[in-house]
Structure formats: structure tokens, C-alpha cells
Structure 1
Amino acid sequence: MLIDYHTHHARCGHAVGDLESYVTQAVKLGYNEIGLSDHMPLLHVNPAEYYPEMAMPIEELPRYIEECLYLRDKYKNDIEVRVGLEGDYIEGYEKEIEEIISAYPFDYVIGSVHFLKEWDITDHRQVHHWEGKDVLEVYELYYDAVQKAAKSGLYDFLGHIDAIKRFTYKPKQEEQEAWYALERETLEVIAECGIPIELNASGLSKPCAEMFPSERMLKQAYQLGIPVTVGSDAHDPLKVGENVDRARNILKEIGYTELATFKERKRFMVSL
């Protein structure tokens, strides 16, 4: 079962290619399902005053959905197109997020933490925010947000749950025990909530040079019975499925035998 549940396209401003080019690339690769999951419009900052090219404008959201539905029908004999959204978890904006999610016929919504207040910890233009920070304290804030995303009930699975490591800022060696305890606590919360996570292969091409999450966290997730899906986080049609085979192999080595797939906000487990 070949799937890629995490892709972006030109509407978000920091990806290239139209939606159809992602679908046709997945067809070319022989995929069974392709998930279209562009970034939810920004809610907690003014897009006109914030960093440019972060997410699709709110006025583009209906057009995005219409195009996804059109492509789902157009390619129904070639591939299953899933209509998704990567919905940032922003504490205090749960109502606004829910309004967007409930307004459209999504197959799934990814719950991702990019923001700590107005700081996008995954944006290379904002790494200066690490200066003078206690790294472990930032990790505590981040994993607190991931736990709240899991508990919110808004999402179908959680995206790149340790994206905080992207630019290789990590707690000190003497803080490793506290750091690993944070990861474990977060995974336990996720397990209690019964929500899957994704193995996001894009981390291999980032400064951290490691998938999201790490094999350390994946092994714990398996022990806790947390379901997993996979995604490339492609921002270019040519990146569809990139390193997803490696992700699948890692999951098999750990012991996973199934992947989570989604349709109409319902989860279906399929053989890996």
C-alpha cells in the first residue's frame, strides 16, 4: 500500500507546482493514495505584517478545496486522492481552527505545531529567536503544545512531532534525561488520546538529518501502540514520495505492520 499523506503546493507561498502536478507524480510512481494537505491560513498573526509566504491566504481556501475535489474525481480511476489540510495548533484559537475544519469536506486534518506564539520554530528565517533562550525550556513549551494538540480532538493525526529539532538546537548533555522524559510524556499523552502520528521523511533533508520523529521516539510509539502514517512533506512535485520507502523500512524494522489511512475523517488501517 503506497501512500504519501503530506504534500504542499504553490498556494502556500513556499512550495512550487500546482496540485495536479502532485497527483500526476504520485500516479507516475504507482502510489495507491496521495494526500493533498496544504497549510491552513494563518489565524493568530496578521499575514500582511508577518513573514511572507507562510500559508495560503484565507480567500484561497475555498478554491483549494474545489480543486482538490475536482482532481479526486478526475483521477479516480488512477489513484485515490485524499483532501487534507495541515492545521496548525495554536493555543487559544481552537474555536477558529474548528470552524475552518468543519466548514469543508476534509478526509483528514494534520495537527502540527510550528508556532510558539508568533515564532515559527520551523522557519529558517526565524532561527535568531533561539539566541539567549534556554533550549530545554523551549522544548518544554513545544511538547506542551504537541500534547494540547493531541488532546484537542481537532485532528486526525499529528505531524512531525519532534520538528523542534529541525535546526539542531538540542538541550545540553546533562539535560538529556529531562529531554527524553518530555518525549516519553508526550507519547504517553498521544497514546491516551488514541491519535496516530506521522513518520515524516522530510527531516532527512533538513539540518537535523533525521526523520520526524526519531527512531528513539518511534520505538516508544510502537511500544505504546500508537498508529502511524507516512508522508514526504513534499514542497515540489518531484519530491512526492521522497524517502518514504526508507520510512516504511524503518517502521517494518521496529515492528509496525500497518499504516493509518483516512477517508471522510475516518481512520482505516491497511497492511504496510
Structure 2
Amino acid sequence: MLIDYHTHHVRCGHASGELEAYVKRGIEIGLTQLGLSDHMPLLHVDPQTYWPEMAMPMDELPRYVEECLHLKEKYKDQIDIRIGLEGDYIEGYEAEIEAIIKAYPWDYVIGSVHFLGEWDISDFRQLAGWEGKDIFEVYTQYYDAVQKAVRTGLYDYIGHIDVIKRFGYKPDRDPWELEKAALDTVKEHGLAIELNASGLRMLCEEMFPSRRMLEYCHKVGIPLTIGSDAHQPERLSQYLDQARDLLKLIGFNEIATFSARNRHLVTF
């Protein structure tokens, strides 16, 4: 069972490659399931005046879903395509997010926190946002937002749950209690998380989440899925061999897949 549930394509503005290029690449490398999961359109900032190339325009969302459905049917005998959305959690915009989620036939919706207010903590162009801030306080705000995302009930799993570490900013105190509280909330609400391998090519040089968090997930029974967070077709499934090896080393023998918003655990 080879899967990759976290991918982006040219519509989002900061990735390259058409959807079909990802499908063809998935077939080429032998994926069993491919999740197409581009970014939800921006809701809380004006895309015309905010940083460019952040997410697909709102009028592209139905075209994205239509193309996903077309490719799912076209390649059904070669690869199992799952239709997803990375639905950024924006505090105060829960109703708008819910409307988007309910409007389309998703197989799964990833709950990811990128924004603290209008600051995208995952955007390399916005690193100035860290200047003068108490890093532990930023971590506290971030993990509070993760818990709020979980509690909405809008999502199937949480994406790159510790992406706050992406650029190597480390607090002067161990953030474990913040991380643990977020994972406990995931467990309480019956969600899964992803092991997102893309951190290996970033400044943090570690997958999302850390091994410590993965071991806690195994201890308390939080299901895991995996994704490469590929933004180019050639990066599809990048580092996922290492991700699977790490999960097996920790003791996982099942991985979460999704269909029509239902979770299925399969042996890998």
C-alpha cells in the first residue's frame, strides 16, 4: 500500500505542474492511492493586496474539483485518486470554511494552521514576522489555533501539526506540553494526523511531526496518514520511504486512508 495524500499543483500559485502530471507521476512510481489536496482559497485577506501566489482563486475551486473528478474516472484502472482539500483553519471564519467543505464531494479535508491572524508563519517571505517576538509565545498561539481547528469538527486529519518549527525558530523552553495538549485534543476528537515528510528538505531538517510526537501518537492510539507535500510532480512521494520506515520502527503497522470523509485503516 503506497499512498501520498498531500500534494499541490499550479492552481495554488506557489506550485508547478498540472494535476494530470501528478497523476501520471503517481502511476509511474507505483502509488496505490494519490490524494489531490490543494489549498483552500484565501478567506480572511484580500488576495489582490496580500502576498501573491498564496492559494487558488475562489473561482478556480469548482474547476479544481471538476478536474479531480475527471482524472479520477480517466485513470481509475491505473491509480486510485482521492479528492482532497487542505482547508486552512482561520479563527473567526469557521462558517465560511464549513460552507466550502460542504459544497463539494471531498474524500478528505486536511486541517492545517498556516496563519496567525494575517501572518503566514509558514511563508519564507514573511520571516520578518518573527522579529522581536517571544518564540514560545508564538508556539503557544500556534498550538492554541491547532486545538481550535480540531474542535471545529470540520477536518479529517491535521496536517504538519508542528510546522511552526519549519524555519528553525526554537523557543527557550521545551514546547512539549503545547505539543502534547494538541495531540490530546486530536485524540479526544477522534481525528488522525499526517506524517508530512517535507520537513526533511526545510531548515528544521525533520519531518512533521517529530519522532517524540509520533511515539506519543502510537502510545495513545492516534492514527497516521502520510504525505510528501509535493509542490512539483517530481517531488511526489519524496522521503515517504523514510516516513514509512520511521512509522514501522516506532511500531505502527496500519496507515489511515480516506474515502467520502470516512477513515479506513490499512496495513502498510
Q: Would you say same fold, with TM above 0.5? A: yes
Deviation at 1:189, TM superposition (A): 1.0
Q: Give the fraction of aligned pairs with identical amino acids, expressed as a percent.
A: 62
TM-score scaled by length of structure 1: 0.98
Matched, 1:190 2:180: no
Pair 1:73-2:73 in alignment = yes
1:260 aligns with 2:260: no
Pairing of 1:5-154 with structure 2 (within 5 A)? 5-154=5-154
1:222 alignment partner AA: H
Aligned counterparts of 2:24 and 2:222: Cα–Cα separation in 1: 31
Runs of 4+ in 1 over 3 A off after TM superposition: none
Query: Residue deviations 1:82-127, cap 9 Å, x none?
Result: 0100000011100000000000011000000000000000000001
Partner of 1:171: 171
Is residue 227 of structure 1 aligned with residue 223 of structure 2?
yes
Q: Any gaps of 5 or more consecutive residues in structure 1?
A: none
Partner SS, residue 147 of structure 2: helix
TM-score by length of 2: 0.99
Q: Whole-Å Cα distance in 2 between the matches of residues 56 and 63 of structure 1?
A: 10
Q: 1:17 aligns to what SS in structure 2? A: coil
* Cα distance in 1, alignment partners of residues 182 and 245 from structure 2: 24
One-letter amino acid of the counterpart of residue 141, structure 1? Q
Gap runs ≥5 in structure 2: none
Letter of the 2:69 partner, please give it.
Answer: L
Distance in 2 of aligned mates of 1:21 and 1:246: 24
Question: Following TM superposition, by how much is the alpha carbon of 1:185 offset from its aligned partner in structure 2, in angstroms?
Answer: 1.2
Q: Which amino acid letter does the alignment assign opposite residue 56 of structure 2?
A: M
- Provide the C-alpha distance between the structure 1 equivalents of 2:177 and 2:14, rounded to a whole number of angstroms: 34
Shift of 1:221: 1.1
How far 1:65 sits from its partner (Å)? 0.4
Give 1:226 shift. 0.3
Residue identity matched to 1:217: M
- For residue 228 of structure 1, what is the amino acid of its counterpart? L
Tell me, what secondary structure is at the counterpart of 1:197? strand
- How far residue 151 of structure 1 moved from its aligned partner, in angstroms, is 1.0
Root-mean-square deviation over aligned CA pairs: 0.5
Q: Secondary structure at the match of 1:194?
A: coil
1:190 is matched by which residue type in structure 2?
V
How big is each residue's C-alpha offset from its partner over 1:152-204, in whole Å with a ceiling of 9 and x where there is no partner? 100011000000000000101xx12xx11111111111111110000000000
| Structure 2 residue identity aligned to 1:7 | T
CA distance in 1, matches of 2:33, 2:182: 29
Number of corresponding residues: 268
Counterpart AA for 1:22 = Y
